[in-house]
Amino acid sequence: MLSFLLTAAPLASLVYASFEGNLNYHSPSRRHEGLGIDVSKVAKRSLIKRAAPWDAAQLNFTHGVASGDPYPDSVILWTRIAPSLEHDRSNVTVSGNVPFYNHETEKYIKASPNPVCVEYRIGTDANLSAIVDHGTAYTTSDIDFTVKVEAKNLTPFAQYYYQFTVCGSSNQSPLGRTKTSPDHDDDVSKVGLAVFSCSNYPNGYFNAFGNAARKDNVDFFVHLGDYIYESAKGKLGTDPRATNPSREIITLYDYRTRIGQYRSDLDLRLAHQNFAWIPTWDDHEVANNGYRDGFSNMNNTEQSFLKYGGVSVDSRKMNAVRAYFEWMPIRQVDMDDNLRIWRSFKMGKLFDLIMLDTRNYDRSITTLNWNNDYIEDLKDDAARSLMGSPQENWFYRQLSESHERGATWRIVGNQIIFSRMNNSAVYSNWLNADQWDGYTSNRNRTLHHLYSNEIPNTAFLAGDSHANWVSDLVWLDETPYDQETGVGAVGVEFAGTAVSSSGYGSGRSIANSSDRSAALVSDNRELQWAEGYYRGYYELHISPDELNAQYYGSPSVASRNAFDISLANFTVKAGANHLERMNGTIVAADGHVESGALQRGPTIPTNLTLNTITGTWNVTGFEQMFIQYA
């Protein structure tokens, strides 16, 4: 008996440590441990039931590999190793007077006792002949068979390759490639970011991800949110991109299933496999037009609670956050709230990347369809905040500390359009109060901080709008601004179109869409380019001397294709705080843009596309932008 105990004790310690190494058992919040999974109970369940690990032949790496949140000496690695594509239906949020995600085996939920053991290796070459870190981790149905580990002992701004293997077998994941960030004091000559938002699975294929990955021109991928959508569309078994589940998602099972379906897109999988990602969420990772107390179609009322089968706003948020944390290669940060995702990355002395959450953390009420007139009346209220007080003050500190430490640039990743935007040319109401326009005091506080502290070289990045916008960053009516020269601006804003979601150019010809863009540019003097026809992404190339933004579009997302079209290029010189001009004209590629409208300069459509697989150029046109449904 003694010998058994001596043998079992080291085994228990080993199992416990390997479970702990999988970050997905932890809470998304370091200050809310109750939102994590009780690892000791999961390990005990496996030992008591004498649960043998799964046979390696029964397991598959169902969704490839991913990496993200790069630090100078570490990076997050992710995979899913499971006996099935299906997600465990018993793994729903427990109810009653039970701690969040308590896993006492059969007492509250049925959970598989069978653990899956994987080993991971990361090295400096594709053959993994020079290993710099390795380890073992377990996963179970409790966390949807996902694995998330932190690879350590890495050097700054270096490329690495990594792979997962089922323990004791030859069952291996695809080979992944990743990269660490520069150390905070490194002199870095150039960093490239590819920026994405709004990838809507039933609307079309994620060609933008594949094109950017194959071109391999950048260091990191940044996603500004709407990685998934919660709504349902199409009929499973009939429509090739019909949503699964075939209903609006609410439960933990629903969110896991939907995000798993999105990760089945081959171009998205390719992008995750080859680049370290830095993502934040928008509203649709939970539900449309989210704010602190609800969404456009759900709120904290008894009627809403009954309509959604006894699921509250808070429970739905936690279901979504738990699935996001399990599936996305992100770290925990020192969270003071279970919904915190805002964080920052120091990219050498070159720039600080400040990632915000202007949606879910502590956002004041937004437009919910039934209250739009009310929100329009409230938009200038001093108490309104997109971020909540803790995040807002953290944001201003980040801007100041970045400037004080001598970083050349401040790049702000947020979800929604920051600049004032008169939308009369494309919508019935000039005001989109779901953007910063609906929170003008919050915007004014931000602009005041930038102007009064003389913080230069700030660039806002935005998604959400499903269109391209490039603006000088201006405090209109408060500071002088010369539209022709850009003097008086405090920075720039680069907002990108959707990967596949529809926008104001949907269903229109390229020419008609460009006419609407021209009207938008005419109505907004700080807006230097607008474009609404193409789906796509942009690259931001950052050096000590300048920012260069290069916009790309996919001519159609109705089919999976590798065509990439250059839409426009823009430059910002360090210290200028506005878009580069020459004789009053915005400096764009060859002085013109492919689509949309410039404040000053021509639009010359060519339909000249790059095939990112073959590397060849051709004139390519498509009749249909999006997938059509009956």
- CA-based nearest residue to 417, from 388, 389, 439, 393: 439
8 Å CB contact between 414 and 358: yes
Structure token pair of residue 531: 């474009």
Which amino acid makes up residue 555?
P
How many whole angstroms from its chain centre is CA 381? 30
Which amino acid makes up residue 74?
S
Q: Which residue has the tokens 């598989």?
A: 112
> Could you read off the pLDDT of 478-537 as tens digits, one per residue?
999 999 999 999 999 999 999 999 999 999 999 999 999 999 999 999 999 999 999 999
538: left (phi over 0), alpha (psi -120 to 50) or beta: beta
- CA-based nearest residue to 197, from 290, 281, 295: 281
Percent of the chain residues topping a pLDDT of 70: 90
CA torsion sign for 329, 386, 347, 339 is negative
Banded model confidence at residue 588, pLDDT cuts 50, 70, 90: low
Please tell me whether the peptide bond between 115 and the residue prior to it is cis, using omega within 30 degrees of 0: no
8 Å CB contact between 421 and 467: no
Which amino acid makes up residue 511?
A
Give dist(CA 464, CA 423) in Å, integer: 15
Residues 6+ apart with CB under 8 A from 14: none
Please tell me whether the peptide bond between 279 and the residue prior to it is cis, using omega within 30 degrees of 0: no
User: What SS3 class is residue 523?
Assistant: helix
Output DSSP code: residue 193: E
- Beta-carbon count within 10 A of 248 CB: 17
Structure token pair of residue 450: 């930038």
State the pLDDT at residue 103. Answer: 56
Structure token pair of residue 598: 């410039």
Q: Which value, to the nearest 10 degrees, does the dihedral of the CA atoms of residues 539, 342, 579, 409 take?
A: -90
Strand 75-82 to 546-554 pairing: unpaired
State the pLDDT at residue 8. Answer: 37
State the pLDDT at residue 102. Answer: 59
CA torsion sign for 569, 573, 575, 576 is negative
Q: Is 519 exposed, middle or buried (0-12, 13-18, 19+ CB in 10 A)?
A: middle
Q: Where are the beta strands (DSSP E) in 508-630?
A: 527-531, 535-542, 546-554, 563-573, 581-582, 585-586, 597-598, 608-611, 617-619
Give dist(CA 129, CA 115) in Å, integer: 29
Banded model confidence at residue 142, pLDDT cuts 50, 70, 90: confident
- Beta-carbon count within 10 A of 611 CB: 16
> Could you read off the pLDDT of 373-408 as tens digits, one per residue?
999 999 999 999 999 999 999 999 999 999 999 999
8 Å CB contact between 23 and 88: no
> Could you read off the pLDDT of 190-205 as tens digits, one per residue?
999 999 999 999 999 9
Query: What structural domains and CATH numbers belong to the chain?
Result: 19-179 (2.60.40.380), 191-619 (3.60.21.70)
pLDDT at residue 581 above 90? no
> Could you read off the pLDDT of 550-564 as tens digits, one per residue?
999 999 999 999 999
State the pLDDT at residue 91. Answer: 53
The mean pLDDT of 599-627, rounded to a whole number, is 94
The mean pLDDT of 45-66, rounded to a whole number, is 83
Residues 6+ apart with CB under 8 A from 630: none
State the pLDDT at residue 587. Answer: 66
Give dist(CA 246, CA 236) in Å, integer: 7
- Beta-carbon count within 10 A of 532 CB: 27
Give dist(CA 276, CA 329) in Å, integer: 8
- CA-based nearest residue to 392, from 364, 420, 365, 411: 364
CB hemisphere CA count around 360 (13 angstroms): 24
pLDDT at residue 94 above 90? no
Q: In degrees rounded to 5, what are phi and psi of residue 295?
A: -145, 180
Percent of the chain residues topping a pLDDT of 90: 77
8 Å CB contact between 96 and 102: no
Banded model confidence at residue 338, pLDDT cuts 50, 70, 90: low
Structure token pair of residue 227: 């990685």
Q: In degrees rounded to 5, what are phi and psi of residue 344?
A: -140, 160
Give dist(CA 165, CA 231) in Å, integer: 35
8 Å CB contact between 419 and 440: no
State the pLDDT at residue 48. Answer: 63
> Could you read off the pLDDT of 205-240 as tens digits, one per residue?
999 999 999 999 999 999 999 999 999 999 999 999
pTM of the entire structure? Answer: 0.94
Q: Which residue has the higher pLDDT, 601 or 547?
A: 547
pLDDT at residue 31 above 80? no
Give dist(CA 469, CA 103) in Å, integer: 47
- CA-based nearest residue to 433, from 388, 362, 376, 371: 376
Give dist(CA 513, CA 516) in Å, integer: 5
Residues 6+ apart with CB under 8 A from 507: none
The mean pLDDT of 617-622, rounded to a whole number, is 92
Give dist(CA 42, CA 25) in Å, integer: 10
Give dist(CA 178, CA 140) in Å, integer: 26
pLDDT at residue 96 above 60? no
Give dist(CA 621, CA 555) in Å, integer: 7
Banded model confidence at residue 4, pLDDT cuts 50, 70, 90: very low
> Could you read off the pLDDT of 273-325 as tens digits, one per residue?
999 999 999 999 999 999 999 999 999 888 888 888 888 898 899 889 989 99
pLDDT at residue 45 above 80? no
Give dist(CA 533, CA 229) in Å, integer: 21
8 Å CB contact between 220 and 272: no
In angstroms, what CA-CA distances link 56 with 3, 65, 511? 30, 18, 55
Structure token pair of residue 171: 């069952």
